[in-house]
């Protein structure tokens, strides 16, 4: 009989300790913050850090700039066009109609809205597989017909 009462007292003590742990967890763990408020605080902190960085202003119109400031430092560039390089992944486009449409939209938009000075040239680099390379060679010249800039 003594063993049974000892066993029951252990059960009661274990139940009491578990209840105390749950109460302590909720009491000490709730600092009037929940998942939503913590996420909001993190986003606000990141937003304030992003506004403090010295990011480039990409909204500046390049036509109003001074050409001499865009030429570079070296004197050996005199008379040679400045080259701006763009790298595109062009793989599996021959198998995907949606990728072909996205490529057409991107190239037409670049041809329509791309602005370069007379002495500047856009150099396009494509990483592609064999099938996509053939398709790109066919599509690219007709997509860049309306381009107002020099390109390679």
Q: How confident is the model at residue 19 (pLDDT cuts 50, 70, 90)?
A: very high
Q: For residues 49-69, give the mean pLDDT.
A: 52
Cβ neighbors of 125 (< 8 A, separation 6 or more) are 85, 86, 87, 88
pLDDT at 102: 86
Q: What contacts 126, CB < 8 A, 6 or more positions away? A: 87, 88, 89, 90, 133, 136
Tell me what pLDDT residue 35 has: 60
What residues does each domain of the chain span? 2-48, 81-151
Q: What is the pLDDT of residues 29-43, one digit of tens each?
A: 666 666 667 778 788
Q: Tens of pLDDT along 84-140?
A: 887 788 788 888 888 888 888 888 888 888 787 888 888 888 888 888 888 888 888
| pLDDT for residue 74 | 47
């Amino acid at each position: 009989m003594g063993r049974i009462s000892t066993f029951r007292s252990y059960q009661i003590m274990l139940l009491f300790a578990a209840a105390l742990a749950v109460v302590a967890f909720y009491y000490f763990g709730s600092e009037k913050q929940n998942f939503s408020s913590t996420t909001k605080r993190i986003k606000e902190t990141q937003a304030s850090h992003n506004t403090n960085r010295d990011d480039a202003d990409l909204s500046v119109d390049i036509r109003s700039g001074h050409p001499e400031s865009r030429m570079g430092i070296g004197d050996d560039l005199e008379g040679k066009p400045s080259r701006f390089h763009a790298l595109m992944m062009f793989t599996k486009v021959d198998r995907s109609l949606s990728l072909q449409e996205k490529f057409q939209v991107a190239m037409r938009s670049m041809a329509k809205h791309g602005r370069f000075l007379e002495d500047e040239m856009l150099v396009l680099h494509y990483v592609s597989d064999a099938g996509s390379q053939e398709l790109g060679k066919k599509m690219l010249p007709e997509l860049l017909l309306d381009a107002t800039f020099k390109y390679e």
